[in-house]
Amino acid sequence: MENPITQNTGTKPAPVIEVRDLDNRFGNHVVHHNLDLDLFKGEILGVVGGSGTGKSVLLRSIVGLLKPSQGHIRVFGKDLDKLGAGERSDVEQRFGILFQRGALFSSLNVLQNIALPLIEHCGLPRPDAEDLARMKLALAGLPADSALKYPSELSGGMVKRAALARALAMDPEVLFLDEPTAGLDPIGAAAFDRLIVTLRDALGLTVFLVTHDLDTLYTTCDRVAVLSQKKVLVADRIETVATTDDPWIQDYFQGPRGRAASYASGAQEKNRSRE
């Protein structure tokens, strides 16, 4: 996969999101300390780490759902802590978020879930919002008849796609995905991975992807950031990350599943090169 960070000039542009010296503490428990991380326009960045390393905490800090104990987060060149409520809301509306379990409103059908942010934040009349919501459903690969179903009537894969459609509702520039393939069968997970890459390429999205799925990392991500020792231990192309001299990284990437995912990714690249 050609890296969109460097494909035009060979040099890195200014980051879309810049995290510096980030600390997150809950009482005496320190989750992050002096954490630095950049997210560049057009890339899919995979964020991995062992249990308790704060992957979702980092995501929530960046999108403004959790105030860090200290440090700075700059988004689109602006320091979030220094923005007024109106400016901050404008910035946050350029984000789309898919939460780990979808977080759809159970009392609303799929169409209403997707239309809601368009009505509340954009002030669209309901008919216009629902027309746009149907377009987002199609983008997420859901059939038209799913629009009137409730979350309880959907399969796990359909819930993920409905949540993705809602995350895309307001045409975000940055898409945050928290364990998007968790709970999906291998076929559904692979289809979701392909969808993310297709949407990134078609819509020019920048993607921050929290995952533990090795297949997702190998097939979708331009770079991988590993959280360990309360910071980002390494952030680079997966081939470089996988050779980093760290016990957890070696167990993760060089274990049986890591080797299988790497082999499958290499086989896919060879097949594409023959086409």
Query: Are residues 226 and 48 in contact, defined by beta-carbon separation less than 8 angstroms?
Result: yes
Residue 41 has pLDDT above 70, yes or no: yes
d(CA 62, CA 19): 8
pLDDT of residue 256: 65
Confidence band for 103, pLDDT divided at 50, 70 and 90: confident
191 occurs within a structural domain: yes
In a domain? residue 264: no
Backbone angles phi, psi at 118, to 5 degrees: -70, -35
Q: What is the mean pLDDT of residues 39-67?
A: 93
Asked if residue 91 is part of any domain, the answer here is yes
As a whole number, mean pLDDT of residues 84-113 equals: 86
Q: How many domains does the chain have?
A: 1
Beta carbons within 8 Å of 92's beta carbon, 6+ residues apart:
63, 64
User: Does residue 244 belong to any structural domain of this protein?
Assistant: no
pLDDT at 235 over 90: yes
Range of the domain at 119: 15-237
Residue-wise pLDDT for 165-222, tens only, equals 999 999 999 999 999 988 888 888 999 999 999 999 999 999 999 998 999 999 999 9
Dihedral of the alpha carbons of 99, 73, 18, 178, in degrees to the nearest 10? -10
- Answer yes or no: is 2 within a domain: no
Residue 181 in any domain: the answer is yes
Among 167, 207, 202, 178, which Cα is nearest to 60's?
178
| Separation CA 47–CA 133 (nearest Å) | 29
Does residue 89 fall inside a structural domain? yes
Task: Give the pTM.
Answer: 0.87
Share of the chain above pLDDT 70, in %: 88
The domain that holds 81 is classified in CATH as 3.40.50.300
Residue of 123, 115, 30, 12 lying closest to 68 (CA atoms)? 30
Asked if residue 135 is part of any domain, the answer here is yes
